[in-house]
């Protein structure tokens, strides 16, 4: 690892690069899904990672809210 970036070269911390890579991978894996399903998949993957590292209980704490019916519509 270089101690100092070259002129016109930006220094990006390794942790930030890992976050960018993770976000890009999540996007590629979920871009074909509708928004609700993509959010569920992201939540599932995040929970699995947290469990693997000892940060989470056996089930996710967060739940997605139900989408309300359109204005004037009735719940099913």
For residue 6, pLDDT over 60 is answered with yes
Q: 7-56 pLDDT, tens per residue?
A: 666 788 999 999 899 889 999 999 999 999 999 999 888 888 888 888 87
Does residue 21 form part of some domain?
yes
- C-alpha–C-alpha distance, residues 8 and 41, integer Å: 39
Does residue 23 form part of some domain?
yes
Does residue 10 form part of some domain?
no
Provide the domain count of the chain: 1
Does residue 73 form part of some domain?
no
Does residue 58 form part of some domain?
no
Q: Can you tell me the mean pLDDT for 56-74?
A: 70
Q: What is the pLDDT of residue 45?
A: 87
Q: Which of 62, 24, 59, 8 is nearest to 40 (CA)?
A: 62
- Identify the domain containing residue 19 by its residue range: 15-52
Q: What is the pLDDT of residue 29?
A: 92
């Amino acid at each position: 690892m270089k101690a100092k970036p070259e002129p016109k070269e930006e220094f990006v911390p390794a942790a930030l690069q890992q976050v960018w890579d993770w976000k890009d991978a999540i996007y590629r894996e979920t871009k074909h899904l509708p928004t609700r399903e993509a959010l569920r998949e992201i939540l599932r993957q995040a929970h699995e990672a947290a469990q693997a590292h000892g940060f989470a209980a056996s089930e996710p704490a967060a739940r997605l809210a139900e989408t309300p019916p359109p204005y004037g519509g009735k719940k099913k």
